[in-house]
Amino acid sequence: KAIINPVDANAIETALQLREKHGGRVTVLSMGVPAVQEQLRESLAMGADEAILLCDRAFAGADAYATALTIAAAIKKFCPFSLVLCGCETADSGTRMVGPMLAEFLDVPYATNVRAMSILGEEACLVEADLDGGCMKVELTLPALITVNRAVNEPRIPDVMGIIQVA
């Protein structure tokens, strides 16, 4: 059975926590086969405001570059944003390239492998990113893209009412 990529669940949780503290909307966007709708419903049950599935046979076998290019085009068309949050790596292939490529296609600053973050008003955020043998704190101007790791939080489990509402 397909599941939400574990670190993407951390990204969703981060977005939900930021919305609870600062307001805004959480839109979850995924590229995949029709069966991914089940995972998008799960993100709605967690509390996301909207979910978008990019699904087309033309996307079959997409590499990281094609995935990032496609998602960037969808974000530009459907999702005005201040902050894009992604998991730092994919569960299936372990690649860590989609987030940084996506930031380049969106022409925004980014930080990867983030374990903690805070919003500094409407124009910036402060992130703490894990490095080999240490960490680095960086202030990013918004809009920006951040890839999070599992240390950033513990994703919530959808409650019964959330599941019923999206069923």
Q: What is the CA angle 141-13-133, rounded to 5?
A: 65
pLDDT digits (tens, 9 = 90+) for 10-68: 999 999 999 999 999 999 999 999 999 999 999 999 999 999 999 999 999 899 999 99
CA 114 to chain centre: 12
List the structure tokens of 100: 């940084």
pLDDT at residue number 158: 85
Amino acid letter, residue 16: L
CB-CB contact of 146 with 102 (8 Å) = no
Q: Whole-prediction pTM value?
A: 0.94
pLDDT at residue number 28: 97
CA 161 to chain centre: 24
Model confidence at 163: pLDDT above 90: no
Of 88, 90, 56, give the one whose Cα is nearest residue 73: 56
| Band of pLDDT at residue 90, cut at 50, 70 and 90 | confident
